[in-house]
Structure 1
Amino acid sequence: MTTPGSCVVRVAVDPGVALSVAVTGAKENACLVLSNSLGASWGMWDELVQRLRPSVRIVRYDTRGHGCSDAPPGPLTLEKLGRDVLAIMDNLQIERAVFCGLSLGGLTGMWLGANAPARFDGLVLANTAANFPPPDLWKGRADAVRASGMAPLVEPTLDRWFTETFRKTSPKRVDEIGQMLQSTSINGYAACCGVLAEADMSSQLARIPCRVRVIAGEHDPSTPPSRGAEIVSAIAGADMITLDAAHLSSVEAAEEFALGVRDFMEKI
């Protein structure tokens, strides 16, 4: 959903490809750019926006092939996803920002930190890893959605994204996320699966000079805290907080996630 007070724009990032971008907050505030996970849209950040919007300018966008953004016409690369973020910032005349990405969004953040560090005061890398082996898992998933659509993925994905307790206590929000997943473009989802199959930032993490905070979910089966610790050990000065949540910690542990982001931004 669009948070009240948000301005929604379309930003062209390639010929024939535009991304949907929502901006909340005054220009004079510190800027936070949010990047969604595979299969989600900017709506996964609703809880964080609600908690930070009085004091932060928040830019969230739908990754190519997700939400209301255009689907890619062909294969995608991590570099392409990173350059999309820079194109959005250029379009909105944002010189520097703090970047927060979850899962695929966190991987995008690592590329940005290694390749465009002058644009970022800090990175929040949530529920993510420097690589996502084995490649055949993602290639198989891309083939599956092309053959059968998104619907068969919904329940097993929600099982990974949320703990059983959260699914029982917050069924409405879980259902919203499930609908978000099911409505994702097949071509967009498959193309981003290709990114996860091929991308590996592990050798570039030491190049990241800006401040980094890693957020992990204690019950995350996809990117457990041990994967977050790998990132911290490779980046000088990085730290990590672990939340009582599964993979979509920005939703399940919304208050603690927001505190972690706010504290990080205040420190820089």
Structure 2
Amino acid sequence: MPFAALGDILTHYREDGPEDGPVLAFANALGTELSIWDDVVARLPDGLRVIRYDMRGHGQTSVPPGPYYMGDLVQDAGRLFDHLGAREVVMVGLSIGGMVAQGLAAERLDLIRAMVLSNTASKIGTSEIWQDRIAQVRDGGIEAVADATMERWFPRATRRTHPGLVARARAMLVAQDPEGFMACAAAIGETDLYESTARLTLPTLGIAGSEDGSTPTDLVRETTSLIKGAKFEIIRRAGHVPCIDQPETYAAVLTAFLTEIGHI
């Protein structure tokens, strides 16, 4: 898969579908790589130009020294879309990726047509929570937070009945660079997008997992409701990463939204 030289980083990305197709872009959660969308993308209609990328500090993208700021992550996404000549993008952002989507929509409406805010919010947690998590990783590596993270990411039933699925997600998490993880965690901790998101008017879908331990349904609903006319969907029996544990339902919800706004 290719890389794009974007300012101070090399961004690892992947494109699927026709170059002239309507653009659908995905931004990942903290501690994950672009592969988390594989099972969703496989279930989407043909004809879309699908863009996925590894956020700075993650996957095969560069890991510059931290801390990072949300503005860095927003700029990275905008630069990637500019590099690829992507316009009229429907951007799907999961968790920190959803914060990036909100920030990019506020700054670069020339790029973004619509967005999907998945398992995210305008503000996630508190600075103290994120500083504590950063301290745990600094002392013990990502392994120190891995089990607690799986409990937030996956419902109890999924952890019991699909241990292999959870094990693969855990392996992906602990394989990330601790410096990149901590730097992105710091970006989440200092970000509050309430005012800028409340000014947005573009078509928006909010998606929540009914058993999400990181961004509960009411938190996702509250952020989605900031945007006039936004839709909101709850995926039942899903946690913080429904693209992994409920990909068929996730793809169906996303396809319905893309159809409604005339993107497919």
Give the TM-score band, short-chain normalised: over 0.9
In the aligned structure 2, how far is the partner of 1:221 from the partner of 1:143?
20
More divergent stretch after superposition (46-55 vs 135-144): 46-55
In the aligned structure 2, how far is the partner of 1:116 from the partner of 1:209?
13
Question: What TM-score do the two structures reach when normalised by structure 1?
Answer: 0.93
Residue number among 230, 248, 254 corresponding to 1:255 in the alignment: 248
* Structure 2 SS opposite 1:58: strand
Residue of structure 1 in register with 2:50 after alignment: 58
* Structure 1 SS opposite 2:204: strand
Structure 1 spans left out of the alignment, 5+ residues: 1-7
Residue of structure 1 in register with 2:22 after alignment: 30
Residue of structure 1 in register with 2:131 after alignment: 139
Residue of structure 1 in register with 2:147 after alignment: 155
Structure 2 spans left out of the alignment, 5+ residues: none
Does structure 2 retain, via aligned residues, the 8 Å contact 1:40–1:66? yes
* Structure 1 SS opposite 2:49: strand
Deviation digits for residues 150-200 of structure 1, max 9, x if unmatched? 112211111110012112232222211111100111110000111111000
Aligned counterparts, 1:19-168, within 5 A: 19-52=11-44, 54-168=46-160
* Structure 2 SS opposite 1:81: helix
Q: How many residues align?
A: 260
Residue number among 184, 194, 201 corresponding to 1:209 in the alignment: 201
More divergent stretch after superposition (69-78 vs 192-201): 69-78
| Aligned partner letter, 2:168 | E
Residue of structure 2 in register with 1:235 after alignment: 227
* Structure 2 SS opposite 1:118: coil
Residue number among 242, 255, 265 corresponding to 2:258 in the alignment: 265
In the aligned structure 2, how far is the partner of 1:197 from the partner of 1:54?
38
Deviation digits for residues 74-123 of structure 1, max 9, x if unmatched? 32111110111111111111122100010000111111111112211110
Shift in alpha-carbon separation, 1:53–1:169, aligned structure 2, 3 A: farther
In the aligned structure 1, how far is the partner of 2:42 from the partner of 2:164?
17
* Structure 2 SS opposite 1:34: strand
Does structure 1 retain, via aligned residues, the 8 Å contact 2:23–2:87? no
Residue number among 179, 183, 196 corresponding to 1:187 in the alignment: 179
Q: In the alignment, is residue 9 of structure 1 matched against residue 28 of structure 2?
A: no
**RMSD of aligned residue pairs (Cα, Å):** 1.2
Does structure 2 retain, via aligned residues, the 8 Å contact 1:24–1:53? no
Residue number among 205, 217, 227 corresponding to 1:225 in the alignment: 217
Does structure 2 retain, via aligned residues, the 8 Å contact 1:163–1:219? yes
In the aligned structure 1, how far is the partner of 2:188 from the partner of 2:78?
20
Does structure 2 retain, via aligned residues, the 8 Å contact 1:214–1:241? yes
* Structure 1 SS opposite 2:225: helix
* Structure 2 SS opposite 1:204: helix
* Structure 1 SS opposite 2:10: strand
| Aligned partner letter, 1:119 | L
In the aligned structure 1, how far is the partner of 2:110 from the partner of 2:232?
23
Does structure 2 retain, via aligned residues, the 8 Å contact 1:37–1:104? yes
> Residue 145 of structure 1: CA displacement?
0.9
> Residue 53 of structure 1: CA displacement?
6.1
In the aligned structure 1, how far is the partner of 2:234 from the partner of 2:66?
37
In the aligned structure 1, how far is the partner of 2:45 from the partner of 2:18?
9
Q: In the alignment, is residue 174 of structure 1 matched against residue 169 of structure 2?
A: no
| Aligned partner letter, 1:246 | G
